[in-house]
Amino acid sequence: MRPLSELLQTDDFTRRHIGPTPEEQAAMLSELGYATLNALTEATVPAAILRHDPIQSGGPVTEAQAIADLKRVAQKNKVFRSYIGMGYSGTHTPPVILRNILENPGWYTAYTPYQAEIAQGRLEMLLNFQQVVMDMTGMDVANASLLDEATAAAEAMTLAKRSGRSKGDVLYVADDVHPQTLDVIRTRAEYFGYNIQTGPADGALPDGTFAALIQTPGTHGDLHDLTPIAERVHAAGAELIVATDLLAGALIKPPGECGADIVVGSAQRFGVPMGFGGPHAAFLACKDEYKRSMPGRVIGVSRDARGKTALRMAMQTREQHIRREKATSNICTAQALLANMAAAYAVWHGPEGIRTIAERVHLMTGMLYTALHQSGHSPDGFRTQETFFDTLTFAGDVDLVRARAEAKGINCRYQNDGRISISLDETVTLADLADIIEVITGEQADLAALETVAAHGIPADLQRTTSYLTHPVFSAHHSEHGMLRYLKGLENKDYSLTHGMIPLGSCTMKLNATTEMIPVTWPEFGTIHPFAPLDQTEGYAEMLTELEAWLADITGYDAVSMQPNSGAQGEYAGLLTIRKYHEARGEAHRNICLIPASAHGTNPASAAMMGMTVVVVKTDQGGNIDMADLKALAEKHSANLAALMITYPSTHGVFEENVREVCDLIHRHGGQVYMDGANMNAQVGVTSPGMIGSDVSHLNLHKTFAIPHGGGGPGMGPIGVKAHLAPYLPNHAVRPTSGSRTGAVSAAPYGSASILPISYLYIRLLGPAGMKAATQVAILSANYVAHHLQHAYPVLYTGPGGRVAHECILDIRPLKQATGITEEDIAKRLMDYGFHAPTMSFPVPGTLMIEPTESEPKAELDRFVTAMLGIRREIQEVQDGLLTATDSPLRHAPHTQDDLMTDTWDRAYSRETAAYPTRTQKQWKYWPSVNRVDNVFGDRNFVCSCPPTQEYADFEFAE
Ligand SMILES: Cc1ncc(COP(=O)(O)O)c(C=O)c1O
């Protein structure tokens, strides 16, 4: 018998998270010529930076234990009825959406829809999202989500500056925008050199105003008449940005009908839990003439190779088009999953349902208004609020109200000046309303009587008279069966990790384990308002403190900020701390940021947003930083050097030997080292940014730490810093997160807090040994794939021992030159073989970057190798002159059922070759739902609203 310690199987999860079994790992290692994982690690990772001490995270524990322990932590949060408002409302996630989108790996494990042919489902739902936003705001175009309302407002500020006519530098911000929005805007404006001035929404604009930001309903609940405001703003040569609420848009005249140029807000109350601040989808809509400058991803309508309507990301918003150092936005990962949920909520309720919810919320707010007046809160104590949608603000006895409210499990917003605000939402029942009235007035309400005399808060000229959500999709799926089938139908079009490997280099598409996902929808995490009192969020505090400590240990840093809600936001926050650090030392002039040519587009974009001048460092023949160039540039810019941004292992997929030397060099010249943590999956447990010598990094928790990618978000990009930078970490105006004077970078103090349990459980389940093994197997799998493919496709860069890190780049350029077959042809043909393509043309044009991750079983790695070798044989046929590139299955890929259903088949290869290139497809076949999408057509004929249903129905084969 084995000892009990072994039978308890606390490391069971490690064996499930890591794909190859120990025996398979041994076989893979032996093919590569190594006896153990440690031997491979030592041959791959430079000795000088190898970590020898274990991570201090506790664990591993079993899945059952981890869930039980976290439940106990979660239960330390108190689930109150929160009527705090400030952009966060209670909402009911329709269960059909909860189970079939939020809790469904078919939706949450997909990647950003780069490969449009295998992403038509979520592209359609994201197009619905854009349509919802356009309809509710009355604007011409909308994007497919931003990170949160505050950053959306900041994005609108730069869009207005870039696209508007004014040469001024003043952004006028109404004094009743949400405080967190103002906080984020101030942070962003500082390094763009904009001057923020605040005043009443209808106040006079200061000279030099390039845009005004008005929020309606305002943070205290008042509605603003936008039409005269727009006239004044435009007369001053400025742009009008409006922050608004989608539900209010059902009843109030939408900003687009009042002359707004840009409209932003949050779609959270469309069915997405508050989650202590996120994740939720923010939106940005604008008038047509700004569409080509919009930040974020925009889904557009195009056609496929057979002329069928097909969707894809519109050109300027595909990631490779991030404008690097000329950028005013660095947005990359956004909030696709939550945008999909919000769109589905609108599909589920339809225009009638949305109107009913809006009217109910408004009527109840009117009843509350009248009850307040009747109880003597008016006219002296009750602020004369003439207009409202769902929020009322009044003076009252804060201590008394708070005591009564807390006794009933209710949260209101208590402001420093003694005012109290209450925001109602769709979850409010008559019993809740009676409780709220009693809490404030101390009296029992006669609701029936109140209804007959309820105040109305929307004056006639501010009321909406136009229709919305008129597209048939918003009226077609109101039965649960109908909705279930619609969601399933969309899901079936998309390739996700439920189908097979997604070997996207730089994206780390590892297992998102079910256990890790379960707590996300617990009410103890989901229904907490981000500004709930501290004594109600002790569970979150405990989890955050522990997770921060683990991440600090894993990264070798001293402090962590959880505020940034994407990798790019982390870059921004990290560079902000660097800026503040230099300023505090009297070195504010340091503004040069060195960035290797191979960097991800967000790196130079973030530096540009911090007002830094980007200087590009060359890479040498081997793909490493060109040390001579780096030395020369550091020397040249020594007096003004602010930072170097590097990615490690490099985006070329190798552990550079001289990385310590690089860090020392930058420090000698007074600069700080920012290490992009996107590749942490090759570092955890075997080295760390802190050990290597860097000062600050972001971590893409949606890569290394198991948060699923959601089809384009959510993500989390916390930053770790060395002690000397800790005093400059972001803070938060509403709920302080540090003692620093640095402003906020996100709307919520802890970013998208409700998905942090995923990373928390990932670390606890694997424990120190499991995490190290995960890194080692990620490196093993990448080397295994490189080893098997290198004779067919040259591996572009390797480290000194001939090894790659956790990803490898295959060079397709020689084959392209010889045959005309492109990396895109290979990417599309992989779909026929049942795969998602690797990353295309990043960081080197004409290449494919493969990152298998530790989670793929060996059988799946072998299936991928077989597919790639099969494709290589097909390329050989072109090379040998047996087929032209144009006639080849590679160029016609992907093949659809439409292709095969034709009466005649005149291709130079068989139907079987087209659809069943290997035997595996006979057992299981994933069918792309459209043929190759014509990007150029879509970009020339830009449409980002839902096409008429007829367009799908009328399709005829273009034979
Ligand atoms: C190397 C690198 N840096 C930064 C980012 C940006 O991260 P995010 O998409 O979370 O903003 C990415 C994203 O793919 C990346 O690969």
Neighbouring residues of 436: CB distance < 8 A, sequence distance ≥ 6: 83, 368, 410, 422, 424, 428
Q: In percent, how much of the chain has pLDDT > 70?
A: 97
Confidence of residue 319 (pLDDT cuts 50, 70, 90): low
**What is the four-CA torsion angle of 162, 167, 172, 173, rounded to 10 degrees?**
10
What does the pLDDT average to over 587-612? 95
Is-contact 699 707, C-beta < 8 A? Answer: no
**What are the pLDDT digits (tens) for 417-439?**
888 999 999 999 999 999 999 99
**What are the pLDDT digits (tens) for 394-406?**
988 899 999 999 9
- Report which ligand 1 atom has the smallest distance to the Cα of 566: 10
What does the pLDDT average to over 477-497? 98
Atom 16 in ligand 1: which residue has the minimum CA distance? 506
333, 603, 716, best to mutate for ligand 1 pocket (most atoms within 8 Å of CB): 333
Confidence of residue 957 (pLDDT cuts 50, 70, 90): very low
Distance CA 825, CA 838 (A): 12
Confidence of residue 315 (pLDDT cuts 50, 70, 90): low
Q: Helices 858-879 and 823-832 meet at what angle, rounded to 10? A: 130
Q: Is the pLDDT of residue 790 over 90?
A: yes
861: amino acid identity, one letter: L
Atom 12 in ligand 1: which residue has the minimum CA distance? 678
Confidence of residue 383 (pLDDT cuts 50, 70, 90): low
What does the pLDDT average to over 87-115? 97
Confidence of residue 321 (pLDDT cuts 50, 70, 90): low
Atom 7 in ligand 1: which residue has the minimum CA distance? 567
Q: Is the pLDDT of residue 384 over 80?
A: no
What separation in Å is there between the alpha carbon of 599 and the centre of ligand 1? 10
Report the pLDDT value the prediction gives residue 395, as an integer from 0 to 100: 87
Question: How many CB atoms are closer than 10 A to CB 399?
Answer: 9
**What are the pLDDT digits (tens) for 220-271?**
999 999 999 999 999 999 999 999 999 999 999 999 999 999 999 999 999 9
**What are the pLDDT digits (tens) for 494-531?**
999 999 999 999 999 999 999 999 999 999 999 999 99
713 lines ligand 1 (CB under 6 A): no
Report the pLDDT value the prediction gives residue 507, as an integer from 0 to 100: 96
Burial class (CB in 10 A: 0-12, 13-18, 19+), 175: middle
What separation in Å is there between the alpha carbon of 839 and the centre of ligand 1? 13
Report the pLDDT value the prediction gives residue 949, as an integer from 0 to 100: 67
Query: Which of these ranges, 390-399, 810-819, 903-912, has the smallest mean pLDDT?
Result: 390-399
678 lines ligand 1 (CB under 6 A): yes
Confidence of residue 283 (pLDDT cuts 50, 70, 90): very high
What separation in Å is there between the alpha carbon of 943 and the centre of ligand 1? 27
Q: Is the pLDDT of residue 93 over 60?
A: yes
Query: What's the pTM?
Result: 0.97
Report the pLDDT value the prediction gives residue 375, as an integer from 0 to 100: 86
Q: Which of 837, 898, 834, 561 is nearest to 698 (CA)?
A: 561
Q: Is the pLDDT of residue 203 over 50?
A: yes
Q: Is the pLDDT of residue 48 over 70?
A: yes
155, 506, 746, best to mutate for ligand 1 pocket (most atoms within 8 Å of CB): 506
- Report which ligand 1 atom has the smallest distance to the Cα of 569: 11
Q: Is the pLDDT of residue 411 over 80?
A: yes
568 lines ligand 1 (CB under 6 A): yes
**What are the pLDDT digits (tens) for 622-677?**
889 999 999 999 999 999 999 999 999 999 999 999 999 999 999 999 999 999 99
Structure tokens at 226: 């936008």
Q: Is the pLDDT of residue 608 over 80?
A: yes
What separation in Å is there between the alpha carbon of 501 and the centre of ligand 1? 20
DSSP line for 441-475: HSS---HHHHHHH----S-GGGB--S----SGGGT
Query: SS3 of 940, please?
Result: helix
Q: 614: part of which helix (H) or strand (E)?
A: strand 613-617
606 lines ligand 1 (CB under 6 A): no
Question: How many CB atoms are closer than 10 A to CB 499?
Answer: 17
Q: Is the pLDDT of residue 919 over 60?
A: yes
Query: Which of these ranges, 120-129, 416-425, 607-616, 741-750, has the smallest mean pLDDT?
Result: 416-425
Buried b / exposed e over 650-674, threshold 16 CB at 10 Å, is bbbbbbbeebbbbbebbbebbbbbb
717 lines ligand 1 (CB under 6 A): yes
Q: In percent, how much of the chain has pLDDT > 90?
A: 91
567 lines ligand 1 (CB under 6 A): yes
What separation in Å is there between the alpha carbon of 603 and the centre of ligand 1? 9
What separation in Å is there between the alpha carbon of 568 and the centre of ligand 1? 6
What separation in Å is there between the alpha carbon of 896 and the centre of ligand 1? 32
**What is the four-CA torsion angle of 165, 170, 175, 181, rounded to 10 degrees?**
80
Report the pLDDT value the prediction gives residue 953, as an integer from 0 to 100: 52
DSSP line for 382-398: S------SSEEEEE--H
Category of 672 on φ-ψ map: left (φ > 0), alpha (ψ -120 to 50) or beta: beta
Mean of all residue pLDDT scores within the chain: 95
CA 97 vs. chain centroid, Å, equals 19
Neighbouring residues of 399: CB distance < 8 A, sequence distance ≥ 6: none
Q: Is the pLDDT of residue 320 over 90?
A: no
